[in-house]
């Protein structure tokens, strides 16, 4: 298996163990769905499908180095297309598909912009969607049926995988706002293999492990931990649709039991969702005792979410030491830190007031009136370094809050075709996240940017504000969006405050309804609070811009005040 000790034996991702010929009848992927029989794909079958897609893509005239966007619903076809593109020497990138919750016009515009900025060579999608998309973007669009025909007209036997340099781009991860995905994180084979080796060592990955995932493949956690890691390492991947999981969260736990799962990554909100939404009758006969790790990642980790999950599922074999944490981001391929295997994540009880006012994490007793519990993300994995940067770029002291900067051997090469975006400063990547170090472990407390993380998704307030400001009845430019933490759901909820002209209660009710509907339709996120206010309620900066933080504090203060 790939580890730091065997790293030199792997040159590119095409050296993946699942693509090898040994143990050809061992499961590479098991795809599970609600009320359907699981589909088992052996290593031999996986390799055959990947070869077929490589042949088809070459037959279409795509050449080495072309960027290929894969815009399927999450299924086996998108997996074969991704690996087939790499085998053909292309650069694949997973992209969300159009759903009924998204505005087709906006989706098409964003896809067209991506094609133009990144110089996309082709888009692969379903037959049903290919015809529609073909008229909207400036590159060829191929449906599943057309690819299948290309395979039938060519031979798979004897296909030689493209020879790739270790420093060549392996694939892109797209990282940007909720209504646009134009910033491509370019990752080399070398960087990805370095990450997989170090992270595998950090979690003690072994041949008996089985990874279970519902995560979307266009997100770094799903793409790396729930897709590339198991296939590169040759451990079985048990995969399901994120849409199936949201509707039936018990599907994940049943798959863990039935397929003998041992590892699973989830954002913090998923712990709350599972604990609160799974029905008792769906837990009958369930055993999760075979699990090694549930890894909490991609949004701020809450101790109360872990406690809720543990309380609900301890009777079924979940132990505190199974609840692990990682700090990760696409720019570092994936993991930056990881808590120790076999140990519960460390908890740091600190003075909330000192944290907010002095930017210091001062320890206090748990029963202190200002006690706040922070969950450790663990130490940096091998090959990654972290430093906390304080004022004037000075190195912060122990327990001093500052911006988290990282340097590693698995960082992005660049933002693809975006010379205007320079990711490094003196060799370090500044994350925009705020945190502190204590006893060699990283604690993430928030973000210096306005980014909201809602249900594991990055939500940029300005994107939502743009939607709201276009609606009838809203004072143009007089809407603000921010996130507020919610203990029950274990994630950040989205708040919209907008100035309106009308004082009529019925009309305001309709405007509020329209805001929720349009935001959901155009960005696929849910607004939890809408407050409509009169003129001059919103606070502006001296330069005339909406002061997001100040308005958030004003909104919170009013909610705490009786009668508001």
CATH number at residue 31: 3.40.50.12780
Q: Where are the alpha helices (DSSP H) in 314-369?
A: 352-358
Q: What is the pLDDT of residue 486?
A: 87
Identify whether 270 is part of a domain. no
DSSP string, 266-281: E-HHHHHHHHHHS-GG
- Mark 70-98 as b/e (b = at least 16 C-beta within 10 Å): bbbbbbbbbbbbbbbbbbbbbbbbbbbbb
DSSP bridge partners of 65: none
Last residue of a domain, one of 227, 243, 259: 243
pLDDT > 60? residue 149: yes
Residues 480, 409 share a domain: no
- List pLDDT tens digits, range 444-460: 987 777 778 888 776 87
Residues 440, 459 share a domain: no
**Measured distance CA(304)–CA(309) in Å, rounded:** 9
Residues 492, 463 share a domain: yes
Q: What is the pLDDT of residue 102?
A: 64
pTM reported for the whole predicted model = 0.86
pLDDT (mean) for 460-479: 86
Phi, psi of 518 (to 5 degrees): -70, -40
pLDDT > 70? residue 543: no
Of 76-85, 229-238, 534-543, the range with the lowest mean pLDDT is: 534-543
Residues 125, 91 share a domain: yes
DSSP bridge partners of 447: 433
Q: What is the pLDDT of residue 259?
A: 97
Q: What is the pLDDT of residue 132?
A: 85
pLDDT level of residue 156 (50, 70, 90 thresholds): low
pLDDT (mean) for 139-157: 79
Most confident listed range (100-109, 113-122, 195-204, 459-468): 195-204
Q: What whole-number percentage of the chain has pLDDT above 70?
A: 95
Identify whether 260 is part of a domain. no
Phi, psi of 75 (to 5 degrees): -155, 180
Q: What is the pLDDT of residue 179?
A: 44
Identify whether 258 is part of a domain. no
Residue matched to tokens 């086996």: 76
Q: Is 349 helix (H, G, I), strand (E, B) or coil?
A: strand
Residues 165, 62 share a domain: yes
CA dihedral 164, 168, 171, 176 (to 10 degrees): 180
Last residue of a domain, one of 412, 447, 482: 447
Residues 493, 401 share a domain: no
Quick check: 369 and 228 in contact, CB under 8 A? no
Residue matched to tokens 């969006």: 481
Residues 219, 192 share a domain: yes
pLDDT (mean) for 46-56: 93
pLDDT level of residue 210 (50, 70, 90 thresholds): very high
CATH number at residue 392: 2.30.38.10
Identify whether 132 is part of a domain. yes
pLDDT (mean) for 87-106: 83
pLDDT (mean) for 538-556: 81
- List pLDDT tens digits, range 369-418: 889 999 999 999 999 999 999 887 889 999 999 999 999 999 999 999 99
Q: Which residues form the domain of 399?
A: 330-447
pLDDT > 50? residue 540: yes
Number of domains in the chain: 3
CATH number at residue 463: 3.30.300.30
Mean model confidence pLDDT for the chain: 91
pLDDT > 60? residue 466: yes
Residue 27 CA to chain centroid, in angstroms?
A: 26
pLDDT level of residue 17 (50, 70, 90 thresholds): very high
pLDDT > 60? residue 21: yes
**Measured distance CA(35)–CA(515) in Å, rounded:** 36
Q: What is the pLDDT of residue 178?
A: 44
Residues 489, 351 share a domain: no
pLDDT (mean) for 268-281: 94
Identify whether 271 is part of a domain. no
Residues 399, 438 share a domain: yes
pLDDT > 90? residue 164: no
């Amino acid at each position: 298996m790939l580890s730091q000790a065997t790293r030199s034996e792997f040159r590119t991702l095409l050296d993946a163990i699942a693509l090898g010929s040994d143990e050809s009848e061992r499961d590479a992927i098991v795809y599970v769905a609600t009320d359907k029989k699981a589909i088992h794909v052996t290593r031999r079958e996986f390799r055959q499908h990947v070869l077929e897609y490589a042949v088809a893509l070459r037959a279409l005239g795509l050449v080495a180095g072309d960027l290929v966007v894969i815009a399927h619903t999450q299924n086996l076809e998108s997996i074969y297309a991704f690996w087939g593109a790499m085998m053909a020497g292309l650069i694949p990138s997973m992209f969300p598909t159009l759903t009924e919750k998204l505005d087709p016009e906006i989706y098409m515009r964003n896809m067209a912009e991506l094609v133009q900025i990144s110089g996309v060579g082709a888009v692969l999608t379903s037959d049903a969607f290919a015809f529609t998309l073909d008229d909207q973007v400036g590159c060829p669009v191929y449906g599943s049926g057309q690819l299948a025909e290309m395979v039938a007209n060519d031979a798979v036997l004897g296909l030689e995988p493209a020879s790739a340099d270790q420093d060549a781009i392996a694939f892109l991860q797209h990282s940007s706002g909720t209504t646009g995905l134009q910033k491509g994180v370019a990752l080399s084979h070398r960087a990805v293999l370095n990450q997989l080796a170090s992270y595998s060592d950090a979690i003690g990955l072994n041949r008996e492990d089985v990874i279970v995932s519902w995560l979307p493949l266009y997100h770094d956690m799903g793409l790396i931990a729930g897709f590339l890691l198991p296939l590169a390492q040759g451990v079985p991947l048990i995969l399901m649709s994120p849409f199936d999981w949201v509707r039936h969260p018990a599907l994940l736990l049943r798959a863990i039991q039935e397929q003998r799962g041992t590892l699973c990554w989830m954002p913090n909100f998923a712990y709350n969702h599972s604990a609160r939404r799974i029905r008792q009758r769906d837990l009958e006969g369930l055993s999760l005792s075979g699990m090694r790790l549930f890894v909490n990642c991609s949004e701020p980790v809450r101790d109360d979410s872990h406690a809720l999950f543990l309380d609900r599922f301890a009777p079924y074999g979940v132990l505190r030491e199974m609840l692990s944490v990682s700090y990760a981001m696409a720019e570092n391929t994936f993991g930056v830190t990881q808590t120790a295997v076999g140990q519960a994540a460390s908890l740091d009880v600190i003075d909330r007031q000192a944290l907010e006012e002095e930017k210091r994490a001062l320890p206090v007793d748990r029963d202190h009136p200002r006690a706040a519990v922070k969950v450790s993300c663990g130490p940096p994995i091998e090959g990654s370094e972290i430093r906390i940067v304080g004022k004037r770029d000075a190195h912060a002291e122990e327990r001093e809050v500052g911006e988290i900067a990282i340097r590693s051997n698995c960082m992005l090469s660049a933002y693809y075709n975006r010379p205007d975006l320079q990711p490094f400063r003196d060799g370090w990547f500044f994350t925009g996240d705020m945190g502190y170090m204590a006893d060699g472990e990283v604690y993430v407390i928030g973000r210096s940017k306005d980014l909201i993380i809602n249900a594991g998704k990055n939500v940029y307030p300005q994107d939502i504000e743009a939607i709201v400001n276009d609606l009838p009845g809203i004072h143009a430019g007089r809407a603000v969006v921010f996130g507020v933490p919610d203990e029950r759901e274990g994630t950040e909820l989205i708040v919209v405050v907008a100035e309106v002209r009308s004082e009529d209660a019925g009309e305001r009710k309709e405007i509020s309804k329209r805001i929720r509907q349009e935001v959901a339709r155009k960005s696929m996120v849910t607004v939890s609070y809408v407050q409509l206010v009169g003129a001059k309620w919103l606070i502006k900066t001296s330069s005339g811009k909406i002061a997001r933080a100040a308005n958030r504090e004003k909104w919170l203060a009013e909610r705490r005040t009786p009668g508001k």
